[in-house]
């Protein structure tokens, strides 16, 4: 099975530089761990209780919600290519 060339892993998208810039945590894994979220795939994020995840984002990052965090990560990632 061939990987989707347009697929970006969560670790790549929310790399250490991004997380350090936008939160007090150094890695996306640390961000998830602090919120007690078990995430391995994008689908896992979709299965997180939205309200809990949004609150965690507001508390731990400089974003107002997941949508803005994701959009910014995508823009910054695209800018590096």
**In this predicted model, what pLDDT tens digit does every residue of 10-67 receive, in sequence order?**
889 999 999 999 999 999 999 999 999 988 777 888 888 889 999 999 999 999 999 9
Residue ranges in the chain assigned as alpha helix (H): 10-13, 16-22, 28-34, 42-47, 50-60, 66-80
Q: How long, in residues, is the chain? A: 81
Of 8 and 13, which is predicted with more confidence? 13
CA dihedral (6, 47, 76, 17) positive or negative: negative
- Coil vs helix vs strand at 61: strand
Domains of the chain, residue spans? 10-80
Helix or strand (DSSP H, E) at 3: none
- Coil vs helix vs strand at 44: helix
pTM of the prediction? 0.83
pLDDT for residue 5 is more than 80:
no
């Amino acid at each position: 099975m061939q990987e989707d060339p347009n697929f970006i892993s969560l670790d790549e998208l929310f790399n250490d530089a991004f997380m350090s810039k936008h939160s007090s945590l150094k890695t996306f894994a640390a961000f998830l761990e602090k919120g007690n979220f078990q995430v391995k795939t994008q689908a896992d994020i979709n299965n997180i209780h939205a309200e809990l995840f949004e609150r965690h984002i507001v508390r731990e990052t400089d974003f107002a919600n997941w949508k803005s965090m994701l959009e910014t990560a995508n823009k910054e990632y695209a800018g590096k290519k």
